[in-house]
Amino acid sequence: MNTQLLDARRDASGGYRVDVNRGERVGRVSSEWFSRPADERYLSLNELARTVRDRTDRSRTRVVESALIQVEANRADPERLALMLPGSNTPVAPTHWSFGQLASQVGAPAAYLRQLPAALAGINLQYGLTASRVEQIKTLETEDRRVQLRAVTSPDYGRIYDQDLVEAVQRIAGNGTGDTRWKVPGVLDWSTGIYNPRVDISKDTTTLYASDRDVFLFLVDDLNPIEAGRLQDGSPDLYFRGFYCWNSEVGAKTLGMASFYLRAVCQNRNLWGVEDFGEITIRHSKYAASRFAHEAAPALLNFANSSPMPFVNGIKAAGERIVARSDEDRTEFLRRRGFSKAETGKVIDAVLAEEGRPPESIFDFVQGITAVARDKAHQDARLDMEARAKKLLDRVA
């Protein structure tokens, strides 16, 4: 990497000038950022780990006979139900989430039951538990002043605790605040086009989240820019590595992680200029914990420690692979790959607008396709175009 070129791209504040008109925009982190209240936002991985570890330490899971569960309506609180599980003298209070899971297990409409007085809802739920063909359920109970029933699943549910995912991330990212190369991201200044990786971590900027249902973590290696290709003015096209991962130990969602290269993160936590996006998910099936240990955790470690050179070389190869030298070539190249006449025109126009010349190389076409995809109103159409762009790059690599 030419350090003089990188220095030329640096702002006086230590930030980097980036071109976010290239690549994809990914809004998953922004959606999480918008939806999280203050008490679900954490300022470090250590703080987040303490919370989920303490929750695990206060929890237990067991398989019980459905027909032996007793539903009780609390006279002192007619809006609340409690459950007596076999083998225990302490009632458990279902959460909103676990009540829905329990109702689903016995085939009862949770939304309807919630509208009924507790006593009447209890009668209906008790009948469902007694008459249901589901003979056993697996519970997750957590003691917090009282015993909460946090999850109701099938006996074969393969729970991966939120603690396990957070600890796997800590092994590569430390505290997530800069004690390793992986940290909470900085912020793009739209007025200057400068991405500043050094931003104070606050409730407004953090990307480390946890609720009673899930965890979500997003970290970047944004102090070590990667040069992969050149911009129109000859300066380096800079990228940073990033990943996000998620889990729900109560069955609200799968476990998953995504890794990618990106050019910037804005204040609303949208990811800009994303390339080489890859994602894996693991359902909480019977062998989920084993798959996490043998697939997901190693994949995260491999990405964190891997060399960016395959990515850099792939971008370089795509830029050098000339596939069109005339308007007829450009149209034929796109139409043969399933693009409509209208899409073909938009792709070529997008490259003209951004590069000041028509597309010639594979990389030119990929950038044009992703630019058009960003303007698609419907997510399915956008993802389809982005997948076709990635397929072009993959064939070159």
Q: Which run of H or of E encompasses 64?
A: strand 59-65
Residue of 294, 43, 42, 304 lying closest to 171 (CA atoms): 304
Return the pLDDT at 76: 58
**∠ CA(133), CA(139), CA(140), 5° rounding?**
160
CA–CA separation, 51 and 166 (whole Å): 10
Residue 139 sits at φ, ψ, to 5 deg, of -110, 155
Return the pLDDT at 198: 92
Return the pLDDT at 89: 85
Please report, to the nearest 10 degrees, the dihedral formed by the alpha carbons of residues 33, 34, 39, 42 taken in order: 10
Residue-level pLDDT, tens digit, the chain, 397 residues = 444 444 445 555 579 999 888 888 899 999 999 999 999 999 999 999 999 999 999 999 999 998 899 988 766 565 678 899 988 888 899 999 999 999 998 888 888 888 888 888 888 888 888 887 778 889 999 998 889 999 999 998 999 999 999 999 999 999 999 999 999 999 999 989 899 999 999 999 999 999 999 999 999 999 999 998 777 777 888 999 999 999 999 999 999 999 999 999 999 999 999 988 888 888 888 878 888 887 888 888 888 888 787 777 777 777 778 888 888 888 888 888 888 888 888 888 888 887 788 888 888 888 888 888 887 877 777 878 888 887 877 776 5
Q: What long-range pairs does 59-62 form, CB within 8 A, spacing at least 24?
A: 59/140, 59/141, 59/142, 59/143, 59/150, 60/140, 60/141, 61/138, 61/139, 61/140, 61/141, 61/159, 62/87, 62/138, 62/139, 62/141
Residue of 347, 350, 318 lying closest to 230 (CA atoms): 318
CA–CA separation, 173 and 184 (whole Å): 10
Could you state, in order of their start, the residue ranges of all structural domains in the chain? 3-54+161-307, 59-153, 317-396
CA–CA separation, 185 and 358 (whole Å): 34
Return the pLDDT at 3: 42
DSSP state, 95? P
Q: Are 385 and 337 in contact (CB under 8 A)?
A: no
Residue 13 sits at φ, ψ, to 5 deg, of -80, -5
What is the tally of helices (H) and strands (E) in the chain?
A: 14, 17
Supply the pTM of this predicted model: 0.82
Q: Are 111 and 82 in contact (CB under 8 A)?
A: no
Q: Are 258 and 244 in contact (CB under 8 A)?
A: yes
CA–CA separation, 366 and 359 (whole Å): 9
